[in-house]
Amino acid sequence: MNQLSHTATDAFQAAFAGTLVFPEDPQYNEVRQIWNGMIDRRPSLIARCGSADDVVRSLDFVRQHDLPFSIRGGGHNIAGNAVCDGGLMIDLSLMKDVSIDPEQRRGYVEPGCTLADFDAAAQAHGLATPLGINSTTGVAGLTLGGGFGWLSRKYGMTIDSLLGADVIVADGRQLHASESENPDLFWGLRGGGGNFGIVTRFEFQLHPVGPNVLCGLIVYPFEQAKSVITHFARFTETMPDELNVWMVARKAPPLPFLAEEVHGKEIVVLAICYAGEPDDGMKHIEALRQFGSAYGEHIGVQPYVDWQQVFDPLLTPGSRNYWKSHNFSALDDGLIDTVIEYANALPSPQCEIFVATIGGETGRTNPDAMAYSSRDANYVMNVHVRWESPDEDARCIAWAREFFDRTQSFASGGAYVNFLTSDEAERTAFAYGTSYQRLVDLKRKFDPTNLFRINQNISPA
């Protein structure tokens, strides 16, 4: 046990209602494992919390023994901030309660919940909050970094639907943050990541969605990429807020609606979700079919919860992952040409370049209203490199970095902090833009010693 005596851990266990996991325990390797297979860190102790009181006791233990610590929610963060070496991992993944008030359209969510947990509970009442696109993602990390997905053009970022949060700050106090209580802390939680405390409950506004939505994929040959992506860029500038279309360039997975000879070939995919009446959506998406001559499509009305899980098989845990990301206010011709160039040289079969369309309601909030300030970002591009063997690390990472550098000149300000990797600490201030100095001031108020520092860190210094 690194720097910890059995007396210290025995005292912790006596006061802790959850479960402590030690390196010698059979479940240790499973519990410390997170989504990104590149992360292989070994905490000295894992505290599996079952309540806010367990979180308070964990922070007390950290302060008492001057330990590094990490906070695990869903464990999906690309940088691997959920796990630390030689310290305490505060594991919130068992805190998974979701409570829905359908009359007030409110959702109350604990920090261990995944998108699948929240979506299922809310959709039982035909309601939803804008979340991400991979159902195994944790609600907590997604929200604290901003959050966006299929519903964001109509209903805004995830944080635009956040009404309040119960949070434990560095000195152990349990506070409620909202527009009326600790509003400065509430401002910082909406985009500031895990810099200000540990949220033990989120309160969200819910919106009428589905439960069935029009959604699906149109798959085009890569040879038509210039036409398809150029039309996509122009179409998305004027489409209605109810419609969201994302572009993905990758090698074709074995989708059942594609001919077998297409599998493994480079393709351009338009992923579509219409958060309105399906008949209206059918009229709006007809133009997408004219962008080229498609290999095939699979579009129809299905449960929103099913659509939220469509991409899960491409994002299973355990593979090695590295991301690079830019925001764009528009997709220029030079950018499109560069995307095509690099999509034609993907370093592994699982790699993809996706361009997420946001804009719409996400751009109507004042950039100063909350910590997330990139309200001019109409598109977010994620260069998602994914492979299996450590022998491929250098080549895959070099490809992503080179592509990132080549597209830098087309990017707008800011960055989406949830897409930043562990080697991008220098981009944190850039990511927050005009919000950064206010975040530093807030950090000095709520965490002057930088207790919460295993994150995309905002230093109080």
User: What Å distances lie between residue 299 and 46, 135, 294, 307, CA to CA?
Assistant: 44, 20, 13, 11
How do residues 178-212 score in pLDDT, each as one tens digit?
Answer: 999 999 999 999 999 999 999 999 999 999 999 99
Nearest in space to 197 (alpha carbons), one of 231, 166, 239, 168 = 168
Full domain range(s) for residue 177? 98-209
Residue whose entry in the numeric block shows the structure tokens 């946001």: 358
Task: Judge whether 281 and 243 are in contact, CB under 8 Å.
Answer: yes
State the average pLDDT over residues 290-308: 97
Nearest in space to 456 (alpha carbons), one of 13, 77, 35 = 77
Q: What is the pLDDT of residue 38?
A: 97
Q: Are residues 244 and 193 part of one domain?
A: no
Q: Are residues 333 and 229 part of one domain?
A: yes
Q: What is the pLDDT of residue 399?
A: 98
Residue 96 backbone phi and psi in degrees, to 5: -120, 20
Is 409 part of any domain? Answer: yes
| Dist CA 261 CA 264 (whole Å) | 8
Residue 409 backbone phi and psi in degrees, to 5: -65, -20
Task: Judge whether 142 and 158 are in contact, CB under 8 Å.
Answer: yes
Residues 6+ apart with CB under 8 A from 453: 459
Identify the three-state secondary structure at position 433: helix
Residue whose entry in the numeric block shows the structure tokens 């764009």: 328
Largest separation between any pair of C-alpha atoms in the chain: 70
Q: What is the pLDDT of residue 7?
A: 86
Q: Are residues 333 and 299 part of one domain?
A: yes
Give me the CATH number covering residue 347.
3.40.462.20
pTM of the predicted structure, to 2 decimals = 0.97
Q: Are residues 398 and 376 part of one domain?
A: yes
| Dist CA 345 CA 266 (whole Å) | 9
Q: What is the pLDDT of residue 3?
A: 58
Is 414 part of any domain? Answer: yes
β-bridge mates for residue 354, sequence order: 248, 382
Q: Are residues 228 and 202 part of one domain?
A: no
| Dist CA 184 CA 446 (whole Å) | 10
Nearest in space to 326 (alpha carbons), one of 360, 358, 362, 355 = 355
Give me the CATH number covering residue 188.
3.30.465.10
Decide if pLDDT at 1 tops 50: no
User: How many CA atoms lie less than 13 Å away from 194 in the CB half-sphere?
Assistant: 23
Q: What is the pLDDT of residue 398?
A: 98
Nearest in space to 165 (alpha carbons), one of 181, 157, 177, 175 = 177
What average pLDDT does the structure give for the chain? 97
Q: Are residues 301 and 251 part of one domain?
A: yes
β-bridge mates for residue 387, sequence order: 320
- Look at residues 146, 180, 209 and tell me which one is the last residue of a structural domain: 209
| Dist CA 431 CA 79 (whole Å) | 15
- Look at residues 180, 209, 238 and tell me which one is the last residue of a structural domain: 209
Is 450 part of any domain? Answer: no
Q: Are residues 178 and 73 part of one domain?
A: no
State the average pLDDT over residues 419-425: 95
Decide if pLDDT at 2 tops 60: no
Task: Judge whether 92 and 74 are in contact, CB under 8 Å.
Answer: no
| Dist CA 148 CA 362 (whole Å) | 9
Task: Judge whether 157 and 144 are in contact, CB under 8 Å.
Answer: no
Is 49 part of any domain? Answer: yes
Give me the CATH number covering residue 68.
3.30.43.10
State the average pLDDT over residues 301-328: 97
Q: Are residues 355 and 328 part of one domain?
A: yes
Q: Are residues 275 and 166 part of one domain?
A: no
Is 184 part of any domain? Answer: yes
How do residues 323-375 score in pLDDT, each as one tens digit?
Answer: 999 999 999 999 999 999 999 999 999 999 999 999 999 999 999 999 999 99
Decide if pLDDT at 432 tops 50: yes
How do residues 384-393 score in pLDDT, each as one tens digit?
Answer: 999 999 999 9
Q: Are residues 195 and 127 part of one domain?
A: yes
How do residues 102-152 score in pLDDT, each as one tens digit?
Answer: 999 999 999 999 999 999 999 999 999 999 999 999 999 999 999 999 999
Q: What is the pLDDT of residue 5?
A: 81
Residue 395 backbone phi and psi in degrees, to 5: -65, -45
Is 430 part of any domain? Answer: no
Is 107 part of any domain? Answer: yes
State the average pLDDT over residues 55-67: 96
- Look at residues 162, 192, 209 and tell me which one is the last residue of a structural domain: 209
Give the chain's domain count.
3
Question: Pairing mode, if any, of strands 127-128 and 207-208?
Answer: antiparallel
Q: Are residues 80 and 113 part of one domain?
A: no
Q: Are residues 64 and 79 part of one domain?
A: yes
Q: How confident is the model at residue 4 (pLDDT cuts 50, 70, 90)?
A: confident
Identify the three-state secondary structure at position 124: coil
Is 444 part of any domain? Answer: no
> To the nearest whole percent, how much of the chain has pLDDT over 90?
98
